[in-house]
Amino acid sequence: MTGATIDRPARRRLGVGAAIVLVLVAAAVSVVIGMVRAAGAPDAAGEIVSEQIDSTASAELPALYVHVSGAVRSPGLYRLDDGARVVDAIAAAGGLASDADEEAVNLARRVTDGEQLRVPVVGEEPPASATGGVASDGRVNLNTADVAALDTLPRVGPAIAERIIQWREANGAFTSVDDLLSVPGIGEKMLASLRDLVTV
C-alpha cells in the first residue's frame, strides 16, 4: 500500500512534466515557423516594390517628338530620347538621302521637343537650324540658336545665352518670343530690345 501511494504522485508528476515538454516543443516549432515566414516576406515585398519602381520609371522616361523632313530616306514624326542630337533624328528617319547636303547640318546639335528638322539637298539654302540658328531674314531663332548666335544679340552675353539654351533644354521649345521673360536675367526692357531681332 505504501509503495502504491508513493508511485501515484510520481507518475502524476511524470505525466505533467511530459505534457509541459510537449507544450514547449509545440511553442518552439510555432516560433520557428513564424521566423521562417517573416524572413521570406521582405524578399517578396522587395521584388514587388522593385517591379513597380522599374515600370514607373520606364513609363516616365522623357521623350522628344521631332519632325524630320527634307533629304532623308523616311521623312516623318519621330520619338527620340531626351538629349538626342541631330544625328539621332536623321538615323531614326532612315539616314540621309543620296542628294542630301550633309555639310549644311550640324549633326552634333541637340534637338528640342516639337522641332522641325529639315535636311537640305545639295544647292538648297540651309535651314535656320543648320546655320547656328540665324534665319534667312537675319533674325535669331530662339529654338535652334547656339551660344555664338545668341551672343550677337544686343545686351546678350555668353552668360545669358547659356541661360536661354538651358531654359530651352529644361522646358522645351519657345512657343513665343515673350517666353524670354522666363529666362533669368531678361526683363521687359531687354525683351523690348530683342523682340524684332529674334523668332521662334
134 with 141: CB under 8 angstroms? Answer: yes
104 with 120: CB under 8 angstroms? Answer: yes
Are 71 and 45 members of one domain? no
Are 119 and 55 members of one domain? no
Are 49 and 72 members of one domain? no
Residue with the bigger pLDDT between 197 and 13: it is: 197
| pLDDT attached to residue 111 | 78
Are 47 and 73 members of one domain? no
Question: Among residues 60, 77, 94, which one ends one of the domains?
Answer: 60
First to last CA, the chain: 116
Mean pLDDT across 84-90: 91
Is pLDDT above 50 for 80?
Answer: yes
Are 55 and 6 members of one domain? yes
Are 98 and 74 members of one domain? yes
Contacts of residue 125, defined as CB under 8 A and 6 or more positions apart, other chains included, come to: 136
Range of the domain at 92: 61-130
Question: Among residues 103, 130, 157, which one ends one of the domains?
Answer: 130
Question: Among residues 9, 34, 60, which one ends one of the domains?
Answer: 60
Is pTM beyond 0.85? Reply is: no
Are 27 and 92 members of one domain? no
What residue type is 70 in one-letter code?
Answer: G
Q: Which of 121, 110, 123, 23 minimizes the C-alpha distance to 66?
A: 110
| Rounded-to-integer distance, Cα 124 and Cα 113, Å | 25
18-40: pLDDT as tens digits: 667 666 666 666 665 665 555 54
Are 200 and 178 members of one domain? yes
Are 52 and 110 members of one domain? no
Query: Would you state the cell numbers that stand for residue 80, as one nine-digit string?
Result: 527620340
| pLDDT attached to residue 147 | 83
Residue with the bigger pLDDT between 80 and 44: it is: 80
Are 80 and 112 members of one domain? yes
Mean pLDDT across 176-199: 90
128-183: pLDDT as tens digits: 444 456 655 678 889 888 888 888 888 888 889 899 999 988 888 888 899 999 99
Are 111 and 171 members of one domain? no
For residue 150, what are the CA distances in angstroms to 10, 19, 27, 135?
104, 91, 79, 12
Q: What is the CATH number of the domain that holds 192?
A: 1.10.150.280
Domains of the chain: total: 3
Using a 10 angstrom Cβ sphere, with 0-12 exposed, 13-18 middle and 19 or more buried, the burial of residue 60 is: exposed
| Rounded-to-integer distance, Cα 158 and Cα 58, Å | 36
Are 115 and 76 members of one domain? yes
